[in-house]
Amino acid sequence: MDDKKVGFIGLGKYLPENRLTNKELEKIVDTTDDWIVTRTGIKERRIARDDEATSDMAVRAAKNALQNANLEPKDIDLIIVATITPDMFFPATACIVQNKLGANHAPAFDISVACSGFLYGVAIASQFVKSGIYKHVLLIAAEKMSSVTDWKDRSTCVLMGDGAGAAILSEVKEGGILSVHLGADGSKGDLLCMPAGGSRIPASMTTVEARLHFLKMQGNELFKRAVKIMAEAAQKVTEPLGLKGSDISLVIPHQANKRILNAVAKRMGIDPEEKLYLNIEKYGNMSAASSAVALCEAVEEDRVKKGDLILLDAFGAGLTWGAVLIKW
Ligand code: COA
């Protein structure tokens, strides 16, 4: 059992058609294209339709991954959806996806790990495959961040976007996941949260009027922590294997801010032009979906070759973080 290799046999994505550019945001809040590009690297983001919920995007990404893996929904043994923007509190979005896909015999559950959700999901899914409990696990990271975005708050509304990525984790003959590191620091949860709507502050007229159902973020506090923590997480999965940052073929990080990612690359001693995968300029920060979509696109664009060492590295609300080292 121990030498069973677990990897990705199919990847998929779905991005809503509607593009919201920085120029359009200039008309909504007091900001400029120049500020957004310089401070974040974002040029545009996708926004889901009003009638498009997280599960709808998740299903589209899942179908794409199933097709790429040459599998049918009935072949899926477990569905995990990583999201902080579920269709509703309950039932789980994963159950809604199970029904829409027709993957009838698959158990299904959500995980709420914000931007690190895809990496936590990879850790969970791979254990189920490694142990032999399940053969094919469908992991989807899907977010409708526009549904929790305060379009009056210029410090956050310019950052977020909607989308979904999916992966099927199964036994592979070569390569696979080499190492996983996960972390959390609940003492700093208030740096990025949606204050109301849960059991602490249930929804009421007052909470709506106070705009407490939107994401609140202390960006600069997170910025400092993100750089340090993502660089350390990378070390945690490389050093025990005798590897250095320079041994990594491609770093595919959570796409929160281009300046954060360049700073992480510098700490890792890698050339960002060559070894840092970025698609933030097209999509902004899609929370959990960012890493999943970035991995899918890096493969589509041929940036990932057989035998390459790929590092996924993420950080987000919770605080939570994770790193996953993969041999492709
Ligand atoms: N347009 C124009 N000005 C803006 C702006 C916008 N959209 N948003 C904020 N500003 C202003 C602020 O009001 C502030 O003005 P002041 O100096 O007059 O008070 C100034 O820009 C600097 O704000 P600050 O928050 O210090 O900017 P920053 O360089 O830290 O960049 C973020 C802000 C949000 C882009 C950045 O902090 C960030 O990306 N943080 C990390 C996000 C993250 O990792 N999240 C967790 C993972 S998802």
Please answer whether residues 141 and 83 qualify as being in contact, where contact means their C-beta atoms are separated by less than 8 angstroms. yes
Please answer whether residues 296 and 62 qualify as being in contact, where contact means their C-beta atoms are separated by less than 8 angstroms. no
What the block records as the tokens of 258 is 């281009």
- Atom 19 (ligand 1): residue with closest C-alpha? 155
Give yes or no for residue 322 having a pLDDT over 70.
Answer: yes
Compute, in angstroms, the gap from residue 325 CA to the centroid of ligand 1: 31
Measured in Å, how far apart are the chain's first and last C-alpha atoms? 20
Domains 5-174 and 178-327 share a fold: yes
Q: What is the pTM of this model?
A: 0.97
Average pLDDT estimate for 291-319: 98
Of 247, 248, 250, 246, whose CA–CA distance to 299 is shortest?
Answer: 250
Of 138, 140, 8, whose CA–CA distance to 74 is shortest?
Answer: 138
pLDDT given at position 25? 98
Average pLDDT estimate for 157-182: 97
Average pLDDT estimate for 279-285: 98
Share of the chain above pLDDT 90, in %: 98
Average pLDDT estimate for 136-164: 98
| 13-71 per-position pLDDT tens digit | 999 999 999 999 999 999 999 999 999 999 999 999 999 999 999 999 999 999 999 99
- Kindly list the protein residues whose Cβ atom lies closer than 6 A to any atom of ligand 1: 31, 35-36, 39-40, 115, 154-155, 158, 192, 219-220, 222-223, 226, 256-257, 260, 285, 315-316
What are the extents of the domains in the chain?
A: 5-174, 178-327
- Atom 21 (ligand 1): residue with closest C-alpha? 155
| 212-237 per-position pLDDT tens digit | 999 999 999 999 999 999 999 999 99
- Atom 30 (ligand 1): residue with closest C-alpha? 220
Compute, in angstroms, the gap from residue 167 CA to the centroid of ligand 1: 32
Handedness of CA 212, 162, 264, 22 (dihedral sign): negative
How do 162-171 and 137-144 pair as beta strands? antiparallel
pLDDT given at position 211? 98
Catalytic residue among 95, 115, 157, 296: 115
- Tell me if residue 296 is catalytic: no
DSSP string computed for 84-153:
SS-SSSSS-HHHHHHHHHT-TT--EEEE--GGGHHHHHHHHHHHHHHTTS-S-EEEEEEEEGGGG--TT-
Give yes or no for residue 185 having a pLDDT over 80.
Answer: yes
Give yes or no for residue 1 having a pLDDT over 90.
Answer: no
Q: How far is CA 220 from the centre of its chain?
A: 21
Of 209, 124, 203, whose CA–CA distance to 169 is shortest?
Answer: 124
> What are φ and ψ of residue 79, in 5° steps?
-120, 125
Compute, in angstroms, the gap from residue 219 CA to the centroid of ligand 1: 6
The whole-chain average pLDDT of the chain stands at 97
Q: What confidence category does residue 3 fall into, taking pLDDT thresholds of 50, 70 and 90?
A: confident
Compute, in angstroms, the gap from residue 158 CA to the centroid of ligand 1: 10
Q: What confidence category does residue 2 fall into, taking pLDDT thresholds of 50, 70 and 90?
A: low
5-174 belongs to which CATH class? alpha beta
Look up the CATH number of domain 178-327: 3.40.47.10
Average pLDDT estimate for 175-185: 97
- Tell me if residue 254 is catalytic: yes
Catalytic residue among 22, 64, 136, 254: 254
- Atom 36 (ligand 1): residue with closest C-alpha? 219
Determine the residue of 27, 36, 223 to mutate for testing ligand 1's pocket, defined as the one with the most ligand atoms within 8 A of the Cβ atom: 223
Catalytic residue among 68, 157, 285, 296: 285
